[in-house]
Chains A and B, each alone.
Chain A
Amino acid sequence: MAEERLLEILTRLVELDPDGGSEHLCQLSAEVAGVSGAGIMLMSDDPFPQGALCSTDSVSALIEELQFTLGQGPCIDAFRDDQVVSEPDLASPASIRWPALCPPLLAVGARALFGFPLRVGGIRMGALNLYQDRAGDLSPDQHADALSLAYLSARVVLSQAGDLDAVGTGPGADFHLVVHQAAGMISVQLGVSLAEALVRLRARAFAEDKNVDEVADRVVDRRLRFT
């Protein structure tokens, strides 16, 4: 992933929302990827969507709502298969994947749909959905940006409180792998999910005014235990 581009996208997100909240992620995604609209669907391990986090316009809102109601669509496939899903032309799809979804979406002017999974390692939280009002695949640059946006969105959604730096959202932060090792350990110590373990780790760092890496190091070296 191109770190410079990721930093540019992050900068734009902070412009949109200095608190780093999640409600601007869809607007950011549509703007950065240069598509007609975007939505984010939150999902947990049961296959049913939990609901939309945000959407940029009425078409995106309908895309999220229909996926939620019908249980089919790019977000659901992207989440289930843990991979990027593309349908460059809803009017003549290569395979009939979402029979109930296509007619109403075509009726409101959506022609191409794309889904990008949101995950941090084994923590899977949903999918970013992009749509275009004309047929055609994403360009390689749009596709690369969408991957960066999904990467960033996953971390913002997980951060909840919005302390972006503390989650290690900065470029290269995930190479600070000790954070993820610590999250694995904390999840066992507390008997909670990995997502929650990561939130607890971050909260601890925030409370101690330390960065997450330092706290994670102490956990891995067994100088700190969560109980």
Chain B
Amino acid sequence: MTNQVLLVQTMVELADSLVDDFDVDELLNLLAGRCVDILDVTAAGLMLASPGGELRVVASSTEAMRVLELFEIQSEEGPCMDCLRSGRAVVSTDLDVGDGRWPLFSVRALAAGFRSADAVPLRLRGTVIGALNLFRAEAGGLHANDVTSAQALADIATIAILQHRVAREAKLLNEQLDHALNSRILIEQAKGVLAERGRLDMTQAFSKLRSYARGHNLTLLGVAADVVSGTITDL
């Protein structure tokens, strides 16, 4: 059964971390560890899909768990893979019934000492960004209350991860805007240099800059920087 006190405490801790700056990997490792304390499971791990669709193991409560999760990704079968594909929880699955659902994974998991496996999705509205995997040494899978608690923890983790991604994208965008503004200035400086050297107007100077870049298979910015620094003098 779910350890209610620790569950609430962990929820508060996770929510707190969202207010301040936080390290995503650290947060997810904390979550994986707490799942073992709170829920009736032997090991817990988190798998994330990158925006490009690539899967990686981001946190595991034990090394055996990590190895098994890596194997799942590699063999493309197992409870987490099903959960990621369907976007729905995969619950109470005994591994030794031999129904052939995950022939490769079951053998490995049983050898590592696990008898049942559950997985809940990290999902926000339609998007599945990963899965929280919960493995048990006993058969029978998770109690229904534990599944609900696991999904609540997974939901908070999802918000944390997405918030982190949004913050990172905002910074990237700001840097790109800053860079674009500076690039524009650089090009104007280079135009000025070329205009004076060749007695050109600014439109002609720009054409010259551009055709040099094309002719030498260089970027416009690269050529502008070299003109300004005096590296290119035959222009």
Expressed in whole angstroms, the Cα–Cα distance for A138 and B170 within the complex equals: 12
Q: Is A170 on the interface with B (CB-CB < 8 A)?
A: no
B178-197 vs A: 1/0 string, CB under 8 Å?
Answer: 11011011111111111111
Interface contact A184-B192, CB-CB below 8 Å: yes
Q: Is A25 an interface residue (CB 8 A)?
A: no
How long is the Cα–Cα vector from A119 to B228 in the complex, in angstroms? 13
Most buried by B among A45, A122, A185, A194: A122
* Extra A-B contacts (8), CB below 8 Å, given A184-B189, A184-B228, A185-B196: A88-B23, A122-B186, A147-B178, A177-B185, A180-B185, A181-B195, A188-B192, A188-B193
Q: Is the CB of A185 within 8 A of B195?
A: yes
The answer for the CA separation of A193 and B230 in the assembled complex, in Å, is: 9
Which residues of A are found within 8 Å of B188, using beta-carbon distances? 121, 177-178, 180-181, 184
B interface majority secondary structure? helix
**Which listed residue (B189, B190, B202, B225) contacts A220, Cβ 8 A?**
B202
Picked from A122, A137, A143, A182, the residue with its CB within 8 Å of the CB of B190 is A122
Contact between B202 and A122 (Cβ–Cβ < 8 Å)? no
List residues 41-55 of chain A with CB under 8 A from any CB of chain B: 45
Size of the chain A interface, CB-CB below 8 angstroms: 36
A69: Cβ under 8 A from any B Cβ: no
Also in contact, A140 and B171, with CB within 8 A (given A184-B196, A184-B228): yes
B21 closest partner in A (C-beta) = A136
Q: Is B229 an interface residue (CB 8 A)?
A: yes
Kindly report which residue of chain B lies nearest to residue A178, judged by CB atoms. B188
A120 at the interface (CB under 8 A from B): yes
Task: Give every chain B residue within 8 A of A1 (Cβ-Cβ).
Answer: 174, 177-178, 181
Neighbour of B167 across the interface among A140, A185, A188, CB < 8 A: A140
Q: Which of chain B's residues have a CB closer than 8 A to the CB of A181?
A: 188-189, 191-192, 195, 202
B46 within 8 A of A: no
Is the CB of A211 closer than 8 A to any CB of chain B?
A: no
B192 in complex: contacting residue of A120, A144, A187, CB < 8 Å? A187
The residue on B at minimum CB distance from A184 is B192
Q: Which residue of B lies closest to A187 (CB)?
A: B193
Residue with the greatest number of chain A CB neighbours at <10 A, chosen from B167, B178, B179, B202: B178
**Distance between A1 CB and nearest chain B CB, rounded to angstroms:** 6
A119-B182 contact, Cβ under 8 Å, with A140-B167, A181-B202, A184-B195? yes
Give the distance in Å from the alpha carbon of A220 to the alpha carbon of B193 in the complex. 11
B180 to chain A, nearest CB (A): 10
Which residues of A have CB within 8 Å of B193?
184-185, 187-188
User: Which of A122, A147, A178, A182 lies in contact with B174, CB distance below 8 A?
Assistant: A147
Any B CB within 8 A of the CB of A57: no
Contact A121 B228 (CB under 8 A): yes
Assuming the contacts A1-B177, A180-B192, asked whether A188 and B197 have C-beta atoms less than 8 A apart, the reply is: yes
Q: CB of B154 within 8 A of chain A?
A: no
Nearest chain B CB to A151 CB, angstrom units: 7
The minimal Cβ–Cβ distance linking A49 to chain B, given in whole angstroms, is 19
